[in-house]
Structures are given as structure tokens and as C-alpha cells.
Amino acid sequence: MKTRIEHDSMGEVAVPADKYWGAQTQRSYMNFQIHDEKIPMDVIEAFAHLKKACAKTNAKMGVLSHEKATLIQTVCDEILAHQWDDHFPLSIWQTGSGTQSNMNVNEVIANRGNELTGHKLLHPNDDVNCSQSSNDTFPSAMHLAASLGLMKKLLPELKEMIQTMKVLEQANQDHIKIGRTHLQDAVPLSFAQEISGWRAMLENNYEMLQSAGTYIRKLAIGATAVGTGLNAPKGFGESVCEVLSEQLQIPFISDPNRFHALAGKDDIAFVHSALTMLAANLMKIANDIRWLASGPRCGLGEIMIPENEPGSSIMPGKVNPTQCESMTMICVQVMGNDAAVSFAASQGNFELNVFMPMIIYNVMQSIHLLKDGLRSFRIHCVSGIKANTTRMQENLDQSLMLVTALNPYIGYEKAAACAKKAYQANCSLKEACVALGYLSEKEFDAYVKAEEMI
């Protein structure tokens, strides 16, 4: 492999000749050969947006020449166009402040910019990192990446699922089925009403995520090393946030307390808790669907879901609820991520939290898993759900809990006696009620109407 010599404050380092990164990136790359989790490209893209906004602001404030600022912005646009994805190789398991990832971005921008101009115009620290510190850029990039993932990726997909649920709900207004509580038979409801519960859960999650998302629109930029803003012009953070808001069409603000912005990670942990609540509801919905579809002959069998793949290597004709299984595994992973994020958020020491790469890795993984999982679940399962009306009616007719409709006419205790007799004698509720002398057949038929119980 051909190399070139780069240097930093610690001395010279050999760097791959075909890569734009410099000495600090190379040191981190060599020192943290730990598994294969890399800084997500979402974070690199967020850094490109941030460096672009910082360059604009530095030029406006007169601390960076317009020539240098323009060059930085040009390279940032190339990064955002994914021209240099393989120039960002660093592990999640690095310094907890993400310093080397900030420098990775700075070095790539400087070296690529210098290549474009044909001479060394940009310095990674003095120019690309002007008015900044890793301690305020990395948390800012975290919030930018999570905001973009939430607003541009996850919430639109969640909205699509909600709309699919509405269509499914409308199509099943007339299908009456038995309800279940404690995994036991309960009183009837329409299948549309059951679906409406799923839909309302997701609508609630949508509102929760929107609300939580406002907390990560506060950015640490302008805080520099410990929150005091040392070496940054007055108003730098506020100006950068204005530029970012215009660039991304999301309203960002400078965190009103930058000491909190560096040391506290409660804002992004709060967002992940909202992701976890979405996972909790998706777990319930996916479990409901696979239970309702269980069978096809020896389970509940009240709904039919799309048959996507053979389900067994030994049992011919078996088909499994694979989309439900995929979704529930995703939900478990998100819940596990939440434990890691919450614990990491508690580990701020003095002026800085040093668990940030791991936090944002988990947050972005959760966002992408939920986004992709929702899409797959919607397309390959939920949109194809069909009611098995024959099985629904069979189960409804056999339910003992229709006896609840008799409470106003014969009282709770007599109604309970009817249910017990029907169960023990393996007869219908009507037969039990008539045998006990509580009602005539005509009276029973007049009082027990499933369609009037929903």
C-alpha cells in the first residue's frame, strides 16, 4: 500500500496515499481496531452540514477568508453527495468525546480542499475547525443527525403506517369478533375497533416523537471546549443555528445553557425513550397480529396475513408470520439500545459526557431499524391483512362472555351461573339459560345480540 507522510502535534504518521484523512485520523484508526461498528454516515453528513454552516458564519464574522469558507463549503457538498464515504473509517469505540471523528472530517475537508486549489490553503484545525471544538461540534452533529433521521426518515414512514391502518380500519367496520382480555374471552367488538387501537397507539407515538424532537433542536455549537465559548466570536453559535435552520428547513437554536449542552445527554436520551415507546407499541401490534393469524387450523385464525416465504425446511406447506417476528426482534433491539443510551447519559463527568459516539450509534441504529422495519411490516404484512369472517363468527358464537349482555335482565350472579353451566355441560348459553329457568329462548334472542354489544 502506498503511503504519504502527514504530521500533527505529536509528530509524523504514514497515511494511505489514496485517502484524504490525516495524522489524527490515522492514529485513531490504528489505535482502535475494535470490531466493525463505525461512526454512522448520518453523523458524517451532519458534520458536513455543520462545517458548512460554521464556514459561512466565520466568513460573515470576519475570522475566515471568503476563499477558505467557499472551499470548505464545496468539499462539504461533495461529502453530502457521498463522494468520499470511504474516507471516514473510524470506530465507535474511540475517545468518548468523538474528537478524532471531528478531526477526521476536518482533515478530509482540508486535504480535499487543498487538492482542489493545488496548494495548502486550508489547515484542519486553524481553518476547518475555526471557532469550534470537538466538544461542541460532536454533540451538535449528534443532534443534527438524530433530528434529520427523525424528521426526514422515521416520522414519514410512521405516517404511512398510520394511513395504512386507517384504510384497514375502514375496510373492517362490519366484522364483529370476540374481544380478549387476560388472554381470555371477553365481550365482542368490531375488528375495526381493534385496529383503531393500533392506529391510535401509533398516532400517539407520532406526537411523542414530534414533541421529543424539539429537545434535540438545541445545539451545543458555540460552547467550544467547556461551555464558555473560548476562541469563538460572540454570537457564533446563534448565527450557525440560523444558517443550519435555513439549510435544513428545521428550526435549530443555540442551547441556552452550553454547559448543559456539553455535559448532559438527557435531550437525546429523551428522544430515544420516545423511540422505545414506539417499539413497545409495535411489539404489541406485531404480537396481536401473529396471534390473530395463528393456525391456520389449530390457532385463533381470525385473520389472514400475506404468505411471503416457506416457513419450514421439513414441514411442507408451513408458512410463518415472519414480518411480525422481524418487527419484534427490532423492538427488542431498540429496547436494549435504550438501556445503553440511558446509562451513557448518566455518565457526564464535570464539563463533558464521554460516551457520545456510542450514544449516537445506538440512537441512529434505532431510528433506521424502526424506519426500515415499519416499511417492511407495512408493505409485506399489514397492508395485506384480511379478516377470516367465518372463524370470527365461529369464535363469537362459542364465547361464553356474551352472557354479559344479560346482566341488566337477570343480574350478575344468575348470568355467571348460565356461563358456568354452559361451560360444564358443553352446551350453548341459550340452552343453559333456558334450562336454569332464567329466560325463554325468545327473551334470550332479544337480549343477546352481538352487533348491539359493540
Q: What are the residue numbers of the active site?
A: 182, 312
Q: Residue 259 CB: number of other CB atoms within 10 A?
A: 16
- The type of residue at 244 is L
Q: Which of 154, 62, 145 is nearest to 105 (CA)?
A: 145
The strand pair at 253-254 and 218-219 is best described as parallel
Angle (deg, nearest 10), helices 134-148 and 266-292: 30
Rounded to an integer, what distance in angstroms lies between the CA atom of residue 238 and that of residue 217?
12
Rounded to an integer, what distance in angstroms lies between the CA atom of residue 186 and that of residue 422?
16
Q: Which of 146, 131, 142, 141 is nearest to 225 (CA)?
A: 131
Alpha-carbon dihedral sign for residues 256, 258, 259, 262: positive
Residue that is written with C-alpha cell 340452552 in the block: 431
Q: What angle do CA 116, 117, 120 make, to 5 degrees?
A: 110
Residue that is written with C-alpha cell 424502526 in the block: 370
Cβ-contact 405, 454 below 8 angstroms: no
- The whole-angstrom distance between residue 263's C-alpha and the CA centroid of its chain comes to 24
Residue that is written with C-alpha cell 472530517 in the block: 105
Q: Which of 300, 53, 267 is nearest to 194 (CA)?
A: 300
- The type of residue at 200 is A
Q: Which of 296, 316, 297, 314 is nearest to 305 (CA)?
A: 296
